[in-house]
Amino acid sequence: MNGKVWLIGAGPGDHGLLTLRGKDVLEQAEVVVYDALVGQGILCMMPDNAERISVGKRSGDHTLPQDEINALLLTKAMQGKRVVRLKGGDPFLFGRGGEELELLIEHDIPYEIVPGVTSAFAVPAYNGIPVTHRDICSSVHIITGHRKKGRVLSLDFKALCAMHGTLVFLMGIAALPDICGGLLDAGMDPKTPAAVLERGTTAAQKRVIGTVGSLTSLCTKQKVQTPAIIVVGDVCALSERFAWYEKLPLFGVKAVVTRPKERSSALSSMLRQKGAEVIELPAIDTKPLVGNTRLDDAITSLLKKKYDWLVFTSPAGVKTFFSRLMQTGDCRMLNGVQIAVIGQGTQKELMNYGLKADFIPSVYDGQTLGRELAEKTQAGARMLIPRAAAGNQELVEELRRVENVTIDDIPIYETRYKEMGILDLKTLLESGDMIFTMFTSASTVKGFARIAAGLDMTRVKAVCIGKQTQAEAARFGMNTWTAERATLEALTECLQNAAYELRNKEREAMV
């Protein structure tokens, strides 16, 4: 039985510009065939168990010729696979999507098209350039600026000038002198505003604003690189007035989020709202321990009121514990048992089960939790601590200060280190100065270090949620910044301060 192929437009780079339909299909893919211009954040959304095949197409450098890409899609579909062809921008706008369908149609392979947000509109918008404006122009025209190697660019420049609309050239940076020269030769005013927009919608976004007469020399001086688009028209003059993206506090910052995939969304959302480009690269995941008779016995004892305190040290511990509890009863059976949690993140997970903690320490770490909980606990107290197999012992040591205390410290899940993902970490972390790695636990630091084996750790800018996490990052030689409080909000603020600090150093170095 044949499979099916989906041609998905991934947009111009920003993770948020992938459509909901595209995201749903991508997450169910068994094979993903992707281009070089697909955003890094979107690449990280591929299923871990999917076969991932790069056919990286950039100007003058094709990993796989187009006819071989077509054949690859056919082969994988005929194996009964759910195949996603992931393309930058929109698959039907200079994306050769139509060519990739021809062979599928010949062999009766079912397919769907998932349109994407085109860079022709999104990139100008992220740079404050409306491609149409009622008071300036009423039409927009998208033109391919690609020329085959050794050939002259063949465009009807007189017709383009006669349209009096905004001109957007895609894939045209190599031909920029020919494009500007052709427009000038066709009679366009040399003072017509024009722009080159490099790597739009990403942390590396950059724009060069000039005129048709000056744009080529300006881009040469500023060493513009691909991917970039060219916009010609009076609307380009609005860019400084309408610019918004670079005004966000974390614009230009790329943040690598290392916490488990199921826990990453809240932090990623906070960072993206402030303008950061987020790469979700989980360094660890958690897995419940199977055949855990100690946990089952503890739950039985808990329901018989044999514990005074139930202590949670992580959201994963809460989720794993209640998943098991629900197989026996429900939260009403905890009546009379007091609950302590290590911090706000664990508290939020607990509230998903309709419960609120009786105690949260002033500082969100195991030692403080143990010390402060011990101070308010009566002699002879009985405590259940369901947590990670490699739990920090400072918590238990502090609780043992309570006279005649009984502590059942039970491992209920294990923390596993992830394997290397789709991205090349060395290339990623060395691709710019404003790249920070976010750590929410010592375990995420250790997992990251395993994934990044061989990387010069002194190049890693580590933003850490607490002192224990910072100490682990420092042990590997990373440059560290530590949040004032162990919350995601404080961690986001810490990143903002770190970026501000580095930017100031860069300015001082230039003076």
- Written in H, E and C, the secondary structure of 12-44 is CCCHHHCCHHHHHHHCCCCEEEECCCCCHHHHC
- Which of the following is catalytic: 14, 35, 90, 178? 35
**In terms of domains, do 502 and 450 share one?**
yes
What pairing do the DSSP bridges indicate for beta strands 111-114 and 140-144?
A: unpaired
Task: Look up the CATH number of the domain holding residue 30.
Answer: 3.40.1010.10
**In terms of domains, do 423 and 275 share one?**
yes
**In terms of domains, do 349 and 447 share one?**
no
Q: 434 an active-site residue?
A: no
**In terms of domains, do 376 and 327 share one?**
yes
pTM: 0.88
Q: 46 an active-site residue?
A: no
Structure-block tokens of residue 249: 């506090």
- pLDDT at residue 371, as a whole number: 94
Task: Look up the CATH number of the domain holding residue 374.
Answer: 3.40.50.10090
- Looking at the structure of the chain, the number of domains it has is 4
**In terms of domains, do 429 and 315 share one?**
no
**In terms of domains, do 297 and 187 share one?**
no
Which residue, 417, 449, 471, sits at the end of a domain? 417
Residue 142 pLDDT level (bands cut at 50, 70, 90): very high
Which residue, 228, 247, 266, sits at the end of a domain? 247
Q: SS3 letters for 431-479?
A: CCCCEEEEECCHHHHHHHHHHCCCCCHHHCEEEECCHHHHHHHHHCCCE
- pLDDT at residue 511, as a whole number: 65
3-state DSSP assignment of residue 354: coil
**In terms of domains, do 293 and 413 share one?**
yes
- Which of the following is catalytic: 171, 270, 434, 478? 171
Work out the angle at residue 311's Cα, subtended by the Cα atoms of residues 305 and 312, and round it to the nearest 5 degrees.
130
- Which of the following is catalytic: 14, 45, 46, 57? 57
Task: Look up the CATH number of the domain holding residue 154.
Answer: 3.30.950.10
**In terms of domains, do 131 and 241 share one?**
yes
**In terms of domains, do 161 and 242 share one?**
yes
Which residue, 380, 398, 417, sits at the end of a domain? 417
Question: What CA–CA distance (Å, rounded) separates 442 from 439?
Answer: 8
The mean pLDDT value for 43-72 works out to 84
**In terms of domains, do 105 and 163 share one?**
no
List pLDDT tens digits, range 448-487. Answer: 998 888 888 999 999 999 888 999 999 999 999 999 998 8
Full residue range of the structural domain in which residue 339 is found? 287-417
What pairing do the DSSP bridges indicate for beta strands 61-62 and 57-58?
A: antiparallel
3-state DSSP assignment of residue 488: helix
**In terms of domains, do 137 and 104 share one?**
no
* Residue 431 in this model has a pLDDT that exceeds 90: no
**In terms of domains, do 135 and 20 share one?**
no
